[in-house]
Amino acid sequence: MKSLYEIIDSRRDTRHFTNDEVPVEVLEKALQAGHKAPSVGLTDATRYYIIESSDIKKQVKELFTSYHKKSADQTDSESQKKSYLALKLEAIEEAPIGLVIAYDRSVLDQFTIGTVGSNEAVKFSSVCAAQNIWLSLTEQGYSMGWVSIINYHHFKKLLNLPDYIEPLGYFCIGKPATDYGKQPMLQQLNWKQKLEKPFVTTIKNFTPVNHLELENFAVLHSNSSDLKEKLIDKINQKTKPLGSLGILEKLALQMGLVFQSEAPNIINPTIVVFAADHGIANHDVSAYPQEVTRQMVETFLKGGAAISVFCKQNNLDLKIVDAGVNYDFPTNTSIINKKVAKGTQSFLMTSAMSQDELNLCFQYGAEVVNEIYKSGSNCIGFGEMGIGNTSTASVLMSVLTNIPIQDCIGKGTGVMDEKLKNKIEILSQAIATYKGENNLDNLIRYFGGFEILQMSGGMLQAYQNKMLILVDGFISTVAFLIAYQKNSAIKQNAIFSHCSEEKAHIDLLNYLQVEPILSLNMRLGEGSGCAVAFPIIQSALTFINEMATFESAGVSNK
């Protein structure tokens, strides 16, 4: 029997297998080894799915092939692309056994020791299980190959896995046909050399914890001319000089036309906050780390955020949507799970998302709005949360309006001075290196964000449902811009809550030729502007429905 270190040294990520079958006892022993791996809080969250069907393997191979081509397109040069495509990176159909190793997020529905700081520990436990299986198979004369170049959304859909099951990947198991010269395959083929020794650093210097900062960090359709004339007449007959209620009169007329009623009324008003992470945030364009996205979502769910208290103040229903946060939220929270992926790719390097992911964004946004509409709501406000999304919105505004990028960039969450200069340089570089076609879908796929595009899809669906659309600040207005470029009629249903302190917002509002209700130097996001403006919107309904007319009050209008 080999020693432990000999087994570790001979373990290979195998892509070449013989035709030998894998005995049942070999697989059972390996899975038992996986089961003995560390498990945070003894959750036993790791799940195993065995695949022997050639039909299923063929489908998995198709998923790999699709993403393999996408991966090749992201290489740094044509010569590297050629070398990459020459590599054999899977043995899905050749290996006798396919194994899906996954973790069950639903274990987080109950208190779990070791997951309060980060529930990623559940995933890490499953990775430990995968390594144990690998070592067990190696000791028995077999091997395994990890295939991760797949679209995980389609992978889960193919295998009918529940939403709360998260695969680590597809693992090929069989008898190895080679040991690759007793070295990793990629090293044997001169793709890359594995370091002789690991990176090890002894930390001696540290920054003492600021306890106050620690405590506060997480808190951080119709255009009926008949109806229009009746509404205008009703507004003008109120006991007031003509036009003296200013924007309230415009709002009352607009809502009457949206709801197709001379006595318009808002029912079950709802604010929806879409949250997601952004690859561009990894390039130091924000004053806060990406982790804040997750922390703020948790604050929304606990009712402690600005949007939470404003909604409570104004009797607004609040929904939170996970459109693509880089975190697995417990399944027993009230969050609406519409996660496309755990954050976009960095558009400084490649397309933010695939075409399929783009399509999912519009689909999911529409689904969220339809559920709210079915509950009886006729008014929906759109908010967002995502570290780095101001950068994404700035680039989208620039490429969709042809306004220079430097005029579309602001402070976001608080970027100042040198950091702001760096943000401008990075976003300018991203636009300059874009080589795709300048049509709407290509631009939003390459530079978009999951929460921004889900808002766009939701707005389009809200228009179809004849709902009143409340648009928040800069980022929500960029989402509206996208929806508007797909269907310009949507503007008749939209109310723009406020003008953000983000310097580009006023230019974008002017571009759309719309007038915001408020200008309070706000730049928070979250849909906070919608909630703050809501009482004014209600005032417009109150006056048109309850204010006396000259005739009813016996007042002369001459």
Q: What confidence tens digit (pLDDT) does each residue in 124-179 have?
A: 999 999 999 999 999 999 999 999 998 888 899 999 999 889 999 999 999 999 99
pLDDT recorded at residue 117? 67
> Under a CB-based contact definition with an 8 Å cutoff, are residues 338 and 371 in contact?
no
Place of tokens 């939403």: 163
Using 50, 70 and 90 to split pLDDT, how confident is the model at 495?
A: very high
pLDDT recorded at residue 111? 85
Q: Collapsing DSSP states into helix, strand and coil, what is residue 166?
A: strand
Using 50, 70 and 90 to split pLDDT, how confident is the model at 426?
A: very high
Alpha-carbon distance of 236 to 231, in angstroms, equals 9
Place of tokens 């297998």: 17
Q: Collapsing DSSP states into helix, strand and coil, what is residue 11?
A: coil
pLDDT average, residue stretch 348-374: 96
CATH class, 4-189 region = alpha beta
pLDDT average, residue stretch 421-431: 92
CATH number for the 266-534 domain, one of 3.40.140.10, 3.30.365.10, 3.40.50.300, 3.40.50.10210? 3.40.50.10210
pLDDT recorded at residue 73? 84
For 97, list phi and psi in degrees, rounded to 5: -125, 135
Closest C-alpha among 484, 491, 521 to residue 505 = 521
Residue 415 has pLDDT above 70, yes or no: no
pLDDT average, residue stretch 181-191: 93
pLDDT average, residue stretch 76-101: 95
Q: Which of 291, 526, 546, 551 is catalytic?
A: 526
> Under a CB-based contact definition with an 8 Å cutoff, are residues 346 and 283 in contact?
yes
Pairing of strands 468-471, 494-496: parallel
pLDDT recorded at residue 260? 93
Higher-confidence position of 323 and 222: 323
- Residue 229 is a catalytic residue: no
pLDDT average, residue stretch 191-220: 74
Using 50, 70 and 90 to split pLDDT, how confident is the model at 1?
A: low
Q: Half-sphere exposure of residue 437, counting CA atoms within 13 Å on the CB side?
A: 4
Considering all CA atoms of the chain, what is the largest pairwise distance in Å, rounded to the nearest integer?
A: 106
- Beta partners for 381? 271, 470
pLDDT average, residue stretch 527-548: 97
Q: CATH 3.40.109.10 spans which residues of the chain? A: 4-189
> Under a CB-based contact definition with an 8 Å cutoff, are residues 460 and 367 in contact?
no
Q: Half-sphere exposure of residue 412, counting CA atoms within 13 Å on the CB side?
A: 29
pLDDT average, residue stretch 421-426: 90
> How many CB atoms are closer than 10 A to CB 377?
20
Alpha-carbon distance of 451 to 458, in angstroms, equals 10
Using 50, 70 and 90 to split pLDDT, how confident is the model at 287?
A: confident
Q: CATH 3.40.50.10210 spans which residues of the chain? A: 266-534
Closest C-alpha among 538, 43, 532 to residue 307 = 532
Alpha-carbon distance of 430 to 447, in angstroms, equals 9
> Under a CB-based contact definition with an 8 Å cutoff, are residues 524 and 476 in contact?
no
For 238, list phi and psi in degrees, rounded to 5: -70, 155
For 83, list phi and psi in degrees, rounded to 5: -65, -40
Residue 551 has pLDDT above 90, yes or no: no
pLDDT average, residue stretch 18-39: 96
pLDDT average, residue stretch 504-524: 94
E strand or H helix that includes residue 46: strand 46-51
pLDDT recorded at residue 432? 95
Using 50, 70 and 90 to split pLDDT, how confident is the model at 221?
A: very low
pLDDT recorded at residue 222? 45
> Under a CB-based contact definition with an 8 Å cutoff, are residues 395 and 405 in contact?
yes
Higher-confidence position of 360 and 216: 360
Lowest mean pLDDT among 28-42, 415-429, 540-554: 415-429
Alpha-carbon distance of 127 to 5, in angstroms, equals 19
pLDDT recorded at residue 225? 76
Mean of all residue pLDDT scores within the chain: 92
Provide the token pair at 537: 């919107």
Lowest mean pLDDT among 155-159, 283-287, 526-530: 283-287
